[in-house]
Amino acid sequence: MSMLSAADEAGSQGPPCSREPSPTARPGLDPAILAAETAAFLEGAHLLWLLDPEQVDLTTLHRSCFGDLAARLKP
């Protein structure tokens, strides 16, 4: 039995990937653009950290970026 099937049988309320997501984000946002921005941020932040881990606070960068993203997504 797959994990998805087990979760469905257990009555999980979480939205599995195979279902259409509920419209909880701000209208007009393009998911493909948000995904590209997120991927670009992750690649860039991690590269900066790899180049100079003493100067780059990766945790703070992540919190800031994803906090801003969460605010942009709120309807």
> Model pTM greater than 0.85?
no
d(CA 20, CA 61): 31
* Within-domain flag for 71: yes
Number of structural domains in the chain: 1
Q: Give helix 31-51 / helix 58-73 axis angle, nearest 10°.
A: 170
pLDDT in tens, 19-46: 666 667 788 888 899 999 999 999 999 9
Range of the domain at 61: 24-75
* Within-domain flag for 18: no
Largest CA distance in the chain: 48
d(CA 2, CA 4): 5
* Within-domain flag for 48: yes
* Within-domain flag for 34: yes
* Within-domain flag for 13: no
